[in-house]
Amino acid sequence: MFRFARIKNVWLKNRFIDWFVKSYQVNLSEAVCENIEDYQHFNDFFTRALKPGARKIADSLIICPVDGRVSKVGNINNAQIIQAKNHRYSVEQLLGNDIRSAEFKAGFFATIYLSPKDYHRIHMPYEGKLISMSYIPGDLFSVNRTTAENVDGLFARNERVVCYFETEFGLCAFVLVGAIFVGSMQTVWHGQINPPYQKRIQHFDYSSESISFKKAQELGQFNMGSTVIMLMPNQVNKFALKEDEVVRMGQSLLT
């Protein structure tokens, strides 16, 4: 699928993009390139940029980083996160047994699912300095509601990238979760992280570098997929979100 998404055969890529737009009702009027013929290949279309002003950035300390739908939102209790009804998983599993897991024994989280029709670039939800990043190999289960309700520890089993940021709220973890077909993700500071796929966890330390981001600045993108999970430390700012709520990049996440 990774190779197919990069085929430049004009007839094939145009036919597939046209089918995709009609099947998933993609709104191309807000994209920089409105014509499917202007895209080099399917992945170029899938990771399309939006026109300036297509998303209003709220005057809020924390904004939504993506377009999508809220899968779950709530408190982190005893280092446990709700995945779906009768399904929980641990922060430690999600973060690949990183020592920083201890920072999130309490706090709150939001899990946001990106459907195929959504805008697949990811933006910073707050201002922060990049501390480190971990690539954690894993499965590529679908991450829709059906699998979330039936696959134990889904988000802690799928391939993922964990980014740690130092913010005014304290240490925050931002998790990009891969999904069915391709778990390919990339960030603006590293480029494409996967493939090549690895069998072991890889750690990247940026603590001695000055990599800082403003709120709403582009962070990276999904090359197919998926889901983002935000882990926040315990403090007064709480997410004003509801399960199944449709969200758009730039809207306020706070009450």
Q: What is the bridge-based pairing of β-strands 184-187 and 218-223?
A: antiparallel
Annotation marks residue 226 as catalytic = yes
Give the pTM. 0.91
**Selection from 178, 179, 184 nearest residue 196 by Cα:** 184
**Selection from 186, 148, 172, 147 nearest residue 95 by Cα:** 172
Annotation marks residue 123 as catalytic = yes
Give the Cα separation of 40 and 42 in Å (integer): 7
Give the Cα separation of 32 and 50 in Å (integer): 5
Largest CA distance in the chain: 54
Q: From first to last of its 255 residues, what are the pLDDT tens digits of the chain? A: 777 778 889 999 999 999 999 999 999 999 999 999 999 999 899 999 999 999 999 999 999 999 999 999 999 988 889 887 667 889 999 999 899 999 999 999 999 999 889 999 999 999 999 999 999 988 777 777 777 777 787 788 888 999 999 999 999 999 999 876 556 789 999 998 877 777 899 999 999 999 999 999 999 998 776 899 999 998 888 899 999 999 999 999 997
Q: Which of 90, 134, 184, 226 is catalytic?
A: 226
Q: Which of 71, 118, 123, 134 is catalytic?
A: 123
Residue with tokens 């403090």: 235
Amino acid identity at 18? D
